[in-house]
Structure 1
Amino acid sequence: MADGFCFGEGPRWFEGLLWFSDMLGEAVHTVTLRGALTTLPLPGHAPAGLGFRPDGSLLIVSTERREVLRYDGESVVPLVDLSGLVPADLGDMVVDPQGRAYIGSQAFSGGVIVRVDPDGSAEVVAEDLDFPNGMVITPGGDTLIVAESTGRRLTAFSIAADGSLSERRVFAEGLDGPPDGICLDQQGAVWAAMTLANAFERIEPGGTVTDRIEFDDRVAIACTLGGPNRRTLFMLTATSAYPQRLVGARLARLDATVVDVPGAGLP
């Protein structure tokens, strides 16, 4: 669908467009189903996770600055600085129906998830994670699933009415590769970008892989379900799993395919 950008992350389907971050390109892009690309420049920021609040405003994770930005359709402004709360740079994010944002701090061990509430307050809601990465929230808003990349597992938490996380449990472990970006379908399975396996896999609770899309020499980075009836799987790939090796390159790509089971939950 699109190429010529640096390193795509955090794809989200919203109001008929596929939105994604270009982490090395310091921008957020949108793509139509016909492949038309637009760009929101973010000079000085390395964006990653994206999420939309109920009012339609876009939240953007600035990884190295460890802050969250807000875009209202006209201007980008800082929302909250998380540098005093987190042990490492920020990564992916999911926003719940109440507008609360859950953001991972990607320490290889001792990673955390921070919740940012609509009023801008923030607190750590999960600890001791192995590089928390992609996240989804199930329909009804009662469960959060996070990809622990270096742990090669998907981990689930129950979400309480106040937004706190509890009842930590394994959704799937012993995965084929480190999971990066993820999305959820209506049968409760997770599509995951398996970075070092160069593939996107559909994983059922317990770990059974039902579908696999291989990319040979391209690294799977992130995915989301959107498009008509949420049956289009959008897949971001790169030529390396390590962004620092790709500075100055424009070899990232966005592909899409239609799948059998529609998307569900958030994002």
Structure 2
Amino acid sequence: MRISSGTKARLITEGLAFGESPRWHEGRLWVCNWGTGEIMAVDADSNREIMLTVPAVLPYSIDWLPDGRLLVVSGREGLLLRQEADGRLVTHADLRGLSKNPWNEIVVDGRGNAYVNGGGPAPAPREHFGPGTIALITPDGATRQVADNIAFANGMAVTPDNRTLILAESHGNRLTAFDIAADGILSNRRVWADLDGYPDGICLDAEGAVWYADVPNKHCVRVREGGEVLQTVTTDRGCFACMLGGADRQTLFIVAAQWRGFEHMVSDARTGQVLGVEAPAPGVGWPG
């Protein structure tokens, strides 16, 4: 059933700078509050708690290893950090050997493989971003590039069977899929869906659909493989990412903020919000 493009979301919390990399973890929504270095958690009653502050302003993103340890991409520093049981942040992987350009998003699959995107060659003159890449960090600590030539690498998700990685190519107006081999290597690159928009953060649901956030179009969209639009949730500001969570993983959480251009991402403006809307199918796969 297609749901009207007028579907509205309720306000969960506000006053953030730029919310990014939302993750449902241990009964709360975790959010990276770009521009502040904060990683916060929001519960069902809209109570917020700062879980840690990282030595990064933006970009930074999060996910968890299967043993429960938190990973943090420190994008401009080119490091993947790991939080130990005592709270210390240590280097899990050094990505600077693959690229000197900032890294962006992360997803950890069910085998413990971490995929981090961004990096890549230097941007062309007057461009903010060059072609992006995907790096794989395996559980034994090995790091290698597994994809390249990505048109602004953004959100990623892995299917519940650990066999497919789906990537948002924001400047390519598409979702791109890769097969995942047993050793984590990506192959069989293909278009999962051509889009009338600019996908940012994404998540998967149990009916095989993908939700994607879209900053310039100020909405989140649910699509099938092939690009059929199933549902659109409209907002009054740019949507940066989304995540299915809640007790039954059937609430779509959206992080949104007023967009004023890359040069104004770090400022005193606090237009960031977390919004929520009931979804037709629960979340599956990774990130959780």
Give the TM-score normalised by the residue count of structure 1.
0.95
5+ residue gaps, structure 1, are: none
Q: 1:215 to 1:186 in 2, by over 3 A?
A: same
2:246 aligned with 1:227, yes or no?
yes
SS in 1 for 2:284: coil
SS in 2 for 1:34: coil
1:25 alignment counterpart: 36
CA distance in 2: counterparts of 1:106 and 1:36, whole angstroms: 35
CA distance in 2: counterparts of 1:157 and 1:87, whole angstroms: 25
Which of 75, 81, 106 pairs up with 1:93? 106
SS in 1 for 2:112: coil
Which of 180, 191, 194 pairs up with 2:211? 191
CA distance in 2: counterparts of 1:119 and 1:244, whole angstroms: 38
Q: 1:21 to 1:47 in 2, by over 3 A?
A: farther
CA distance in 2: counterparts of 1:109 and 1:151, whole angstroms: 12
Size of the aligned set, in residue pairs, is: 265
SS in 2 for 1:33: coil
CA distance in 1: counterparts of 2:119 and 2:171, whole angstroms: 10
What is the RMSD computed on CA atoms of the aligned residues? 1.5
Q: 1:191 to 1:33 in 2, by over 3 A?
A: same
2:186 aligned with 1:165, yes or no?
yes
2:69 alignment counterpart: 57
2:78 alignment counterpart: 66
5+ residue gaps, structure 2, are: 1-11, 121-128
1:11 alignment counterpart: 22
Bigger relative contact order, structure 1 or 2, given CA contacts below 8 A and separation 6+?
2
Q: 1:127-168 CA distances to partner (integer Å, 9 max, x unpaired)?
A: 111111100000110000000010010000000000000001
* Higher alpha-carbon Rg: 2
SS in 2 for 1:197: coil
User: Could you tell me the percent identity over the aligned residues?
Assistant: 42
Which residue identity does 2:107 align to in structure 1?
A: V
Shift of 1:225: 0.4
CA distance in 2: counterparts of 1:180 and 1:104, whole angstroms: 13
CA distance in 1: counterparts of 2:260 and 2:117, whole angstroms: 18
Query: Retained in 2: the 8 A contact 1:47–1:60?
Result: no
SS in 1 for 2:172: coil
